[in-house]
Structures are given as structure tokens and as C-alpha cells.
């Protein structure tokens, strides 16, 4: 077990390093520079700026500096926000994205699993049809449309809730709804189909035959086994939602870190591109690792040390 | 083993939850301070769009920094509500007869927000900070009319050689290398604000946080929650504080115009921009304000790429453009069609608008366009016109205009132009490398003088980006820069514009404007054609 974790950790570091290297070279392959501004194009000023950010050095030197930055996790100052270091941007944005993400995940998982279980128990009944219609709608409406719609209705027309910004619990309701609906629908569908499969298993019949309480059968025996596919998608879902989503954060003016992914690339803000990519990939890889461990807890048949060969 | 894992998992979850609740408390704070504020105070709610790049006057060269900074600090002169530079921190100024030496006297009441007196030394300090090559200020070129400034900024000269001087605490002297008519208007720009030398020496990052920020303008920076919002409070130390009516200004950072508009509708904002999709619907709204902005949307022709190597063919394409059609049916935001390069809002020594005294230099003329195209092709010996591609940076607005131009070229000239869109940063890089044939362009004025725009097209200017080079134009610009007689200078500039439009390395489309929604109880927000938002006279009832 410990050996597995160590090996896995080594693989994780390698993965992040690979992603980081790819990002570095892709980033420098696209044309444009952080100082390309329509208004300011005085060549000497540009040179001063490049010197200041060490962008005048040859690429291998920059790459070496960059590797050093990853190891020490210090990416230096942002180019477009000269008052801030990349670290301080991430330190400021991540907790907010994380907060929104956790609330979203809780809402999505709780309501998704409940909805899916109810639908499976009332298979082909009215609840099933309603829940699945709701799920299909939830999956098909992109969250930015939902977000705009929610703002228009609850802030613009009804004036019940504030339209945007991140200040009080009241401000959190609309973005959570907009962000949670999609994942909730996916989880509901997954739960339903795997529940249906589990409910036909022999051990469920056995449990029923033993005369166990239905609630105990469902929660302890059925749901636990039905959770496997949900856990599988949770890894990527968690990493994606917890590190912030560009569109939702932009629409609701939430000061999370989602915007850095997109804005930094548009601005060619190299240190921020590197910082956010490394951070995100490290986080994602760590989440996948957690998911693997949770597998073991949920299903004793999965022995972690047997998976060594196939782990990535 | 399994138990051990469960414990680990629960521990991680607990940490996650505690982090979550800690943040929730942090999030509540600003709303509680908000609640107490709206008793009798006049609080203006504005949207800055995003986090200001920097409140270092030399660094934040954009509207998101300077619209705010313009109200936190003040230079020697400030634009009045009629867009004229008038005395501000300086009580009076004199100009020598040759137009080269400016002497400013700083007013006695001029104070920093921490109580220090504003001195001539603070101006020397601030201006040298901007010109310091280490600062890498994108605005430094604005100071190049000052003798020795360019040399210092490019690393060839020394700071001591820059011709700015504090004669005593209250007297500040500047020597220019050529008479520059627009000098006073140039130094209204935030990059020419003073910097409190004592504060900046102690803390070089004085501008990064609200606590350490020291300004000398109508307002003080009282709160700055990065990426969330910042708050201004009226500055009691300001020399002209009796004019300032607002108690507080609360700036949100909402980047999405639709959200901004919804917040305006639900009274969370007092001022909003207009989402493009709603421009037509809100056209006659009572709360809509339309003001000129000194800037122009135009297309560049690359004179090194066929077919635009030929002057007549350039002219033909220029005359095939229907500017009125574009502002009326495509942009639909009340812009003025552009038939010249210099925008409205510049009055000459004769009191007349530059734009009006020159008149329309290029407008739709299909017959003439067809004729010119034929002649041009004959001159070049082409039986078929080389393929024409219009390039623009990816955005729905630019695309709509490109499509309109495409159909206008087809209609007037029978030319099938191709459209190509490129990601914004790539687009700019390619345009500077002269890779495009004809491309979408814009120009926003840095200071209020026609020469700022016209100068772009002298040979070798980094703003030229057309490969166009014309001796007559170059010499007209050069003599305008040396001219001390204001009327003559004005005529020279008008001649230069005529040459530019006649040679047609560009075709103008429309002049920018500033459109905003403002609640009816708001008054006195001044938006200059060139320059930044003024809240000094703003009021809320």
C-alpha cells in the first residue's frame, strides 16, 4: 500500500512535469507577446519591458528558469498585473473558486444521488420520468445560458436576489444553481442506471429475503455499490469545478481563479499561464489519486497493489 | 488498513469544510459595511470592469486603471468640464515666448492625503520615475517632447539631463525640445501625476494597497479588495474639496456587460455600459448618454501587398466604402461616420472644428470607384485583380463590420473579398509584421491634438503598419512640430490629413463614442473625448 502510494506519487510528479513542459513550448509557439498592445508600440519601451521580465533571454534559459519556478512553486510577478505575483493571484482566487466549487459539488451530489435513486426505485414510474426529463434538460442547457436566464429572472425582473458579485450567502445562490445543474443531472442519470443494475443483483434479493429494512438495503447495500461510476467521474469533475469555471465566474463577477486560465492566454501573460496550468494539473492528478483510494474503500474487491501496472 | 484510509479521508473532508466556512465569513464582511453606509451618505455605485492594472501612475496605461486614478490624484493641470486643461495642483503657469519653457507655481493648499504638502520635488520624482528605463512605463513616450527625456528613457542619457527642475518647493520648470502646442493637454494624463517622494522612498509599493496609497486628488482610496472592488472616500485634504459632492464611490469589477446591465436594472449600479445586443432597443432610452470619444475605427491597406501597391486601386476601395451604412445598420450605437482621419472635438485657433474646416475627404462614390479600379488595373497591366483578403481580430463586432465591407466591395467594385479572422494577440503581432493585406484597425488618442493621430503614419512609425511612406506627409508633420504660429500649424496639419486620405493607405469607417446608461438622479459625471472619467463634479440625489 505505502509502496503503491510512493510509486503513484512519482508518476504524479512526472505527469505534471510533462504537462508543464508541453505548456511551456506551446505557449512560446503561439505568436504574439504580452506587450502587444494596439496603443503602445514604442520599440525601446518594449525592449525595456522584455528585459524586465527576462523574456529577452534564449528559450532554453527561460525553460530552466521555469523548471526552477515549478520546483520552488514561485512563478514570479504577473506581466499584466504588475502589482501581483502569480502566487498571490492563485492564493486570492483559489479559495473563492474552491468555496463555490464545494457548495456546488455538495448540491450536485446530494440532489443528483437522491434524484437518481428515487428514479431507479420507481423505475418507469412518474417520478422516474420527471426526474429523467429534468436530468436531460439539465445536461442539455449550457450553464452560461442558465446563468444568464437566472440573473434575468431573479435579479433583473423579480429583484429577489443580487445579480452578481461575491459577498453574502445570498450572492451564492444563483451561481451555485447555474453551476450545479449540469453535474447534478449527470450524477442523477449515472446513479439511476447503476442503481437499476445493482437492484437486480443476488445479494439484494438475499438482503430482502433476510427481511432487512428497505431503507437499510438501499443505503447500505445498493447505493454503496451503485456509487462506483459516480466516483469515477467525480475526480475530473471535482478538479474542474474546484479550480473555477471561467464563464460562470465571469458572468457572476466572482473573483475566483477561473479567469486566469483564459485571460492569461489571451494576454500572453506567460508566468500566469504557467502558474495556473501547473496548479490545475497538479490538482487534477491529485484528485484522480484520491478517487483511486476511494475505490478501495467502496469496493473491497479492488486491491490497490494489483492496479500498479495500469495506473497512469 | 481500510480504517486508516477512512480516517485520512474524513480528515481531508474536515479540512475542506473548515476552509469553506472560513471563507464564508470573509465574504460577509463587505456587505455589512455596505449596509451601514446608505443612511444619508451620497454613494455612487460604478463598475470598473476588472481589477486595475496598477495605481502606479507610470504603469497602468489603460482605462481600467486611469478612470479611477484620475480621481485619486491630480497633475499640474486638469481638464475642466469643457475639455480644456486648466490649473489644478498648479495655481498658475507661464510659457516663454519661444514656447519652450513652462514654469508652474504649485498652489499653497495642495496637499497629499496624508497631510504632506505637494512640492515641485514630488513632480520631478514622479516624472523621472516614469522615464526611468527600469520602470518600463508604457506611457513614457508621452514625455518625449521634454528635452532629454527620450535619451534617458531609452538608456542613452542620464536622469540629470532631463530638463525638469524644482526651482524651489513651489516652482516647477520644464524645458521642451520643440514648441508643443498640446503640452498642457498631454500633462493632464495620469502618467504625469506627482508621486509623494517621502512615501515612495519608504515603500516603493505604496500604490499596491489602499492602506499605503497616498494621493492628492478629489478622492481617497479607502478600501481595495483585489479582484472584488475598491471604494473611494472624499478627500478632506483636497484643495478644491468644497466642489466635491459625493461622499463615497463604490467600484465593482464586473466584466460581463450583460451582468452589468442587469445589476443596473436591479439598482446595484448607478451607471452601466450598453450590451451590444441591446444597443438598438435602448437607443431612445431617457437614461442613455452618448458622448464623443476621440478615436477612430478604420482599415489599413498594406501598400506592399498586391493589389494595394497601386494608389488608384486603394482609392477605389476607399470610395467603395459606405460609412453611413455601417454606423446605421451594423454598429447601431449612434457613432459618427468618418470621412477623414482626425476626430471631432479639436478646435483650432480660429475657433472652428478641425473636422469641419477640412470637410469630408472620402465618401461613397461607386462610379468613381469603378473607374479608379479600371485605371489602376490598367496601370499595373492586370487583367484580373489579385485576391483581396480582409483580416480582423476575432470578435462578433469586428466580424459584422468585415461582412458589411465585403458586400460593399462586391456591390461597388464587383470584387469578391475573402474574410479571415485571427485571435487578437496574433492579429496584432501579424499586423505589425505587415502580414495582412488589409486589416481592421483602431486608434485612440493619447492626448487632445490632431498630431497625435496623424503622426502615426510618418515613415517608420510603429503605428504606421501599412509600409506607406510619403515624403510630403513626413515633412508636413515635421514642420507642424516645429511651428510656433498656431494658425499656421493648424493649416499644416490639415494639409497632412488631406495627403493621407488622398494617398489612401487607410480608409476611415467611423469615430468612436462613449455610450452609457446613467440613473436619472446622477449628474455631473464628465467623460472627455480624450482622457479619463471625472467624478469631481459628480452628484447623486
> What pLDDT is recorded for position B32?
39
Residue B388 neighbours by CB under 8 Å, 6+ apart:
B307, B317, B409, B415, B417, B418, B437, B438
DSSP state of B251: E
Residue A37: band (very low, low, confident or very high) from pLDDT cuts 50, 70, 90: low
Substitution target from B228, B398, B453 for chain A, most A beta carbons within 10 A = B228
Residue B312: band (very low, low, confident or very high) from pLDDT cuts 50, 70, 90: very high
Out of A32, A165, A171, the one facing B254 most closely (by C-beta) is: A165
Among the candidates B190, B209, B228, a domain finishes at B209
**Rounded alpha-carbon distances, angstroms, from residue A254 to A258, A303, B122, B262:** 9, 42, 38, 15
Residue A202 has pLDDT above 90, yes or no: no
Looking at the structure, tell me whether residues B39 and B129 fall in a common domain: no
Out of B27, B133, B428, the one facing A32 most closely (by C-beta) is: B428
Dihedral of alpha carbons A84, A87, A93, A95, sign: negative
- Domain residue limits at B54: 1-69+217-292+514-541
Contact A39 B155 (CB under 8 A): no
Residue A42: band (very low, low, confident or very high) from pLDDT cuts 50, 70, 90: low
Looking at the structure, tell me whether residues B521 and B385 fall in a common domain: no
Looking at the structure, tell me whether residues B454 and B474 fall in a common domain: yes
B222–A contact, CB cutoff 8 A? no
Residue B96 has pLDDT above 80, yes or no: yes
* Mean pLDDT calculated for residue range B105-114: 92
Q: Which residues of A173-207 are buried (b: 16+ CB within 10 A; e: fewer)?
A: bbbbbbbbbbbbbbbbbbbbebbbebbeeeebeeb
Give the B window 432-451 contacts with A, CB below 8 Å: 432, 442, 444, 446
Looking at the structure, tell me whether residues B204 and B256 fall in a common domain: no
Q: Which of B284, B278, B229, B280 is nearest to B253 (CA)?
A: B229
CA of A297 to nearest chain B CA: how many angstroms apart?
A: 7
Residue B93: band (very low, low, confident or very high) from pLDDT cuts 50, 70, 90: very high
Residue B475 has pLDDT above 80, yes or no: yes
Q: Which of A201, A202, A145, A200 is nearest to A177 (CA)?
A: A145
Burial class from Cβ neighbours inside 10 Å (0-12, 13-18, 19+) for residue A139 reads: middle
More confident residue, B512 or A37: B512
Q: Considering only alpha carbons, which residue of chain B is nearest residue A255?
A: B227
| Angle subtended by helix axes A270-298 and A258-267, to nearest 10 | 150
Across A47-56, B158-167, B367-376, least confident range: A47-56
**H or E, element range at B64:** helix B63-72
> What pLDDT is recorded for position B201?
93
* Mean pLDDT calculated for residue range A174-201: 89
Residue B325: band (very low, low, confident or very high) from pLDDT cuts 50, 70, 90: very high
Contact B338, B441 (CB under 8 A): no
Substitution target from A167, A172, A224, A257 for chain B, most B beta carbons within 10 A = A167
Count of structural domains, chain A = 1
Out of A33, A162, A255, the one facing B227 most closely (by C-beta) is: A255
Residue A194 to residue A191: CA distance in whole angstroms: 5
- Domain residue limits at A141: 93-264
> What pLDDT is recorded for position B29?
37
Q: What are the pLDDT digits (tens) for B266-297?
A: 888 999 999 888 888 888 888 999 888 999 99
For the whole model, what pTM was predicted? 0.81
Q: What are the pLDDT digits (tens) for B229-264?
A: 999 999 999 999 899 999 999 999 998 888 899 899
Looking at the structure, tell me whether residues B507 and B522 fall in a common domain: no
Q: What are the pLDDT digits (tens) for B296-310?
A: 999 999 999 989 999
Residue A236 has pLDDT above 80, yes or no: no
Flag whether the ipTM exceeds 0.85: no
Looking at the structure, tell me whether residues B254 and B187 fall in a common domain: no
Phi, psi of B72 (to 5 degrees): -95, -25
Q: What is the DSSP string of B95-137?
A: E-TTS-EEEEEE-TT-B-TTSPBP-HHHHHHHHHHHH-TTT--
Looking at the structure, tell me whether residues B287 and B303 fall in a common domain: no
CA of B455 to nearest chain A CA: how many angstroms apart?
A: 13
Chain B contact set for A39 (CB, 8 A): 61, 444, 446
Phi, psi of B480 (to 5 degrees): -65, -35
> What pLDDT is recorded for position B224?
93
> What pLDDT is recorded for position B89?
94
Contact B150, B216 (CB under 8 A): no
Looking at the structure, tell me whether residues B407 and B501 fall in a common domain: yes
Substitution target from B15, B21, B27 for chain A, most A beta carbons within 10 A = B27
Looking at the structure, tell me whether residues B348 and B468 fall in a common domain: yes
CA of A279 to nearest chain B CA: how many angstroms apart?
A: 17
Phi, psi of B368 (to 5 degrees): -60, -40
Chain B contact set for A38 (CB, 8 A): 428, 442, 444
CATH assignment of the domain containing B382:
3.10.105.10
* Helices H / strands E in chain B, number of each: 16, 19
Contact B425 A33 (CB under 8 A): yes
Looking at the structure, tell me whether residues B527 and B482 fall in a common domain: no
Average pLDDT, chain B: 88
B397–A contact, CB cutoff 8 A? no
Looking at the structure, tell me whether residues B382 and B441 fall in a common domain: yes
Q: Where are the alpha helices (DSSP H) in chain A?
A: 2-29, 43-52, 59-72, 86-121, 126-140, 143-150, 169-199, 202-209, 214-216, 224-226, 228-242, 246-251, 258-267, 270-298
* Mean pLDDT calculated for residue range B520-540: 91
* Mean pLDDT calculated for residue range A204-220: 82
> What pLDDT is recorded for position A86?
86
Instruction: Please indicate, yes or no, if residue A282 is contained in any of the structural domains.
Output: no
B153–A contact, CB cutoff 8 A? yes
Residue B115 to residue B86: CA distance in whole angstroms: 24
CATH assignment of the domain containing B8:
3.40.190.10
What number of other Cβ atoms are within 10 A of residue B449's Cβ? 24
Looking at the structure, tell me whether residues B369 and B498 fall in a common domain: yes
CATH assignment of the domain containing A104:
1.10.3720.10
* Mean pLDDT calculated for residue range B143-150: 92
| Angle subtended by helix axes A126-140 and A86-121, to nearest 10 | 150
Q: What are the pLDDT digits (tens) for A120-165?
A: 888 888 888 888 888 888 888 888 888 888 888 888 788 888 888 8
Chain A contact set for B8 (CB, 8 A): 293
Q: Considering only alpha carbons, which residue of chain A is nearest residue B29?
A: A167
Q: Considering only alpha carbons, which residue of chain B is nearest residue A84?
A: B208
Interface size, chain A vs chain B, as Cβ–Cβ contacts under 8 Å: 170
Among the candidates B182, B209, B236, a domain finishes at B209
> What pLDDT is recorded for position A224?
79
* Mean pLDDT calculated for residue range B523-528: 91
> What pLDDT is recorded for position B22?
41
Residue B283 neighbours by CB under 8 Å, 6+ apart:
B332, B334
Q: What are the pLDDT digits (tens) for B484-513?
A: 888 999 999 999 999 999 999 999 999 999
Average pLDDT, chain A: 82
Phi, psi of B460 (to 5 degrees): 80, 0
How many percent of chain B have pLDDT more than 70?
Answer: 93
> What pLDDT is recorded for position B11?
54
Residue B256 to residue A250: CA distance in whole angstroms: 6
Beta strands in B280-403 (DSSP E): 288-301, 336-337, 389-393
Count of structural domains, chain B = 3
How far from chain centre, in Å, is Cα A202?
37
Contact A274, A69 (CB under 8 A): yes
Contact A170, A162 (CB under 8 A): yes
> What pLDDT is recorded for position A302?
67
Substitution target from B139, B258, B463 for chain A, most A beta carbons within 10 A = B258
CA of B347 to nearest chain A CA: how many angstroms apart?
A: 24
Rg (CA), chain B: 26
Torsion (CA) A263, A268, A270, A273 in degrees, nearest 10: 30
Among the candidates B149, B184, B209, a domain finishes at B209
Q: What are the pLDDT digits (tens) for B367-381?
A: 999 999 999 999 999
CATH assignment of the domain containing B144:
3.90.76.10
Q: Give SS3 for B465.
A: coil
* Mean pLDDT calculated for residue range B202-207: 92
Residue B439 has pLDDT above 90, yes or no: yes
What number of other Cβ atoms are within 10 A of residue B43's Cβ? 18
Chain B contact set for A41 (CB, 8 A): 432, 462-463
B21–A contact, CB cutoff 8 A? no
Chain A contact set for B254 (CB, 8 A): 164-165, 253
> What pLDDT is recorded for position A93?
86
Q: Which of A34, A23, A33 is nearest to A63 (CA)?
A: A23
Chain A contact set for B20 (CB, 8 A): 98-99, 102-103
Q: Give SS3 for B306.
A: coil
How many percent of chain B have pLDDT more than 90?
Answer: 63
Amino acid at each position: 500500500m505505502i509502496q503503491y502510494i510512493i510509486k503513484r506519487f512519482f508518476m504524479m510528479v512526472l505527469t505534471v512535469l510533462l504537462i508543464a513542459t508541453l505548456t511551456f513550448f506551446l505557449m512560446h509557439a503561439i505568436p504574439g507577446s504580452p506587450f502587444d498592445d494596439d496603443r503602445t508600440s514604442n520599440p525601446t519601451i518594449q525592449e525595456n519591458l522584455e528585459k524586465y521580465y527576462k523574456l529577452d533571454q534564449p528559450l532554453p534559459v527561460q525553460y530552466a528558469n521555469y523548471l526552477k519556478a515549478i520546483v520552488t512553486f514561485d512563478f514570479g510577478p504577473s506581466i499584466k498585473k504588475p502589482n501581483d505575483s502569480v502566487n498571490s493571484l492563485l492564493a486570492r482566487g483559489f479559495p473563492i473558486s474552491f468555496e463555490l466549487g464545494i457548495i456546488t459539488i455538495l448540491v450536485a451530489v446530494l440532489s443528483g444521488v437522491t434524484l437518481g435513486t428515487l428514479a431507479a426505485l420507481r423505475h418507469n414510474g412518474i417520478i422516474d420520468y420527471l426526474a429523467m426529463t429534468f436530468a436531460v434538460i439539465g445536461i442539455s442547457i449550457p450553464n452560461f445560458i442558465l446563468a444568464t436566464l437566472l440573473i434575468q429572472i431573479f435579479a433583473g425582473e423579480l429583484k429577489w436576489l443580487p445579480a452578481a458579485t461575491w459577498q453574502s450567502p445570498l450572492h451564492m445562490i444563483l451561481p451555485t444553481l447555474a453551476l450545479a445543474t449540469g453535474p447534478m443531472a449527470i450524477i442523477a442519470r449515472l446513479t439511476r442506471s447503476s442503481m437499476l443494475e445493482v437492484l437486480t443483483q443476488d445479494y439484494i434479493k438475499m438482503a430482502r429475503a433476510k427481511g432487512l429494512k428497505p431503507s437499510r438495503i438501499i443505503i447500505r447495500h445498493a447505493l454503496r455499490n451503485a456509487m462506483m461510476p459516480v466516483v469515477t467521474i467525480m475526480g475530473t469533475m471535482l478538479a474542474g469545478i474546484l479550480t473555477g469555471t471561467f464563464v460562470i465566474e465571469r458572468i457572476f463577477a466572482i473573483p475566483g481563479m477561473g479567469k486566469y486560465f483564459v485571460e492569461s492566454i489571451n494576454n500572453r501573460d506567460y508566468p500566469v499561464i504557467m502558474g495556473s496550468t501547473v496548479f490545475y494539473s497538479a490538482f487534477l492528478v491529485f484528485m484522480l489519486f484520491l478517487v483511486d483510494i476511494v475505490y478501495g474503500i467502496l469496493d473491497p474487491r479492488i486491491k490497490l497493489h494489483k492496479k500498479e501496472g495500469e495506473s497512469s | 488498513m481500510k480504517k486508516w484510509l477512512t480516517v485520512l479521508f474524513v480528515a481531508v473532508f474536515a479540512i475542506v469544510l473548515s476552509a469553506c466556512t472560513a471563507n464564508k465569513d470573509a465574504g460577509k464582511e463587505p456587505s455589512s459595511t455596505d449596509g451601514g453606509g446608505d443612511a444619508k451618505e451620497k454613494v455612487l455605485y460604478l463598475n470598473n470592469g476588472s481589477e486595475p492594472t496598477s495605481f502606479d501612475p507610470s504603469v497602468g496605461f489603460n482605462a481600467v486603471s486611469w478612470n479611477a486614478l484620475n480621481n485619486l490624484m491630480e497633475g499640474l493641470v486638469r481638464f475642466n468640464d469643457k475639455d480644456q486643461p486648466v490649473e489644478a495642483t498648479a495655481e498658475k503657469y507661464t510659457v516663454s515666448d519661444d514656447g519652450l519653457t513652462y514654469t508652474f507655481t504649485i498652489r499653497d493648499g495642495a496637499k497629499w492625503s496624508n497631510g504632506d504638502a505637494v512640492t515641485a520635488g514630488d513632480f520631478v520624482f514622479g516624472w523621472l520615475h516614469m522615464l526611468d528605463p527600469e520602470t518600463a512605463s508604457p506611457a513614457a513616450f508621452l514625455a518625449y517632447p521634454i528635452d532629454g527625456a527620450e535619451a534617458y528613457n531609452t538608456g542613452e542619457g542620464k536622469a540629470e539631463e532631463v530638463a525638469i527642475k524644482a526651482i524651489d518647493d513651489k516652482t516647477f520648470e520644464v524645458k521642451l525640445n520643440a514648441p508643443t502646442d498640446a503640452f498642457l493637454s498631454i500633462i493632464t494624463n495620469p502618467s504625469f501625476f506627482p508621486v509623494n517622494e517621502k512615501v515612495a522612498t519608504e515603500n516603493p509599493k505604496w500604490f499596491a494597497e489602499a492602506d499605503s496609497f497616498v494621493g492628492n486628488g478629489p478622492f481617497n482610496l479607502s478600501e481595495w479588495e483585489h479582484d472584488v472592488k475598491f471604494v473611494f472616500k472624499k478627500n478632506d485634504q483636497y484643495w478644491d474639496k468644497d466642489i466635491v459632492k459625493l461622499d463615497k464611490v463604490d467600484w465593482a469589477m464586473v466584466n460581463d456587460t450583460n451582468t452589468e446591465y442587469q445589476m443596473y436594472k436591479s439598482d446595484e449600479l448607478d451607471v452601466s455600459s450598453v450590451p451590444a445586443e441591446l444597443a438598438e432597443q435602448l437607443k431612445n432610452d431617457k437614461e442613455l448618454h452618448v458622448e464623443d470619444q476621440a478615436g477612430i475605427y478604420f482599415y489599413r491597406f498594406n501598400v506592399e501587398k498586391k493589389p494595394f501597391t497601386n494608389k488608384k486601386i486603394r482609392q477605389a476601395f476607399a470610395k467603395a466604402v459606405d460609412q453611413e451604412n455601417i454606423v446605421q445598420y451594423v454598429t447601431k450605437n449612434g457613432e459618427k461616420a468618418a470621412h477623414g482621419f482626425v476626430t471631432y472635438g479639436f478646435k483650432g485657433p480660429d475657433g472652428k472644428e478641425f473636422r469641419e474646416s477640412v470637410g469630408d475627404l472620402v465618401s461613397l462614390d461607386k462610379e468613381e470607384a469603378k473607374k479608379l479600379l479600371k485605371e489602376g488595373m490598367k496601370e499595373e497591366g492586370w487583367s484580373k485583380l489579385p485576391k483581396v483578403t480582409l483580416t480582423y481580430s476575432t470578435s462578433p463586432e469586428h466580424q459584422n463590420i468585415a461582412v458589411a465591407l465585403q458586400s460593399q466591395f462586391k456591390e461597388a467594385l464587383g470584387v469578391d473579398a475573402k474574410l479571415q479572422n485571427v485571435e487578437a494577440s496574433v492579429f496584432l503581432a501579424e499586423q505589425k509584421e505587415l502580414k495582412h493585406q488589409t486589416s481592421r484597425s483602431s486608434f485612440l488618442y493619447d492626448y487632445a491634438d490632431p498630431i497625435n493621430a496623424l503622426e502615426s503614419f510618418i515613415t517608420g512609425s510603429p503605428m504606421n503598419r501599412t509600409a506607406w511612406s510619403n515624403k510630403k506627409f513626413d515633412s508636413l508633420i515635421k514642420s507642424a512640430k516645429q511651428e510656433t504660429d498656431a494658425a499656421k500649424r493648424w493649416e499644416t496639419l490639415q494639409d497632412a490629413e488631406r495627403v493621407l486620405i488622398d494617398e489612401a493607405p487607410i480608409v476611415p469607417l467611423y469615430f468612436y463614442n462613449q455610450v452609457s446608461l446613467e440613473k436619472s438622479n446622477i449628474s455631473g459625471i464628465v467623460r472627455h473625448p480624450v482622457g479619463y472619467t471625472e467624478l469631481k463634479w459628480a452628484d447623486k440625489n
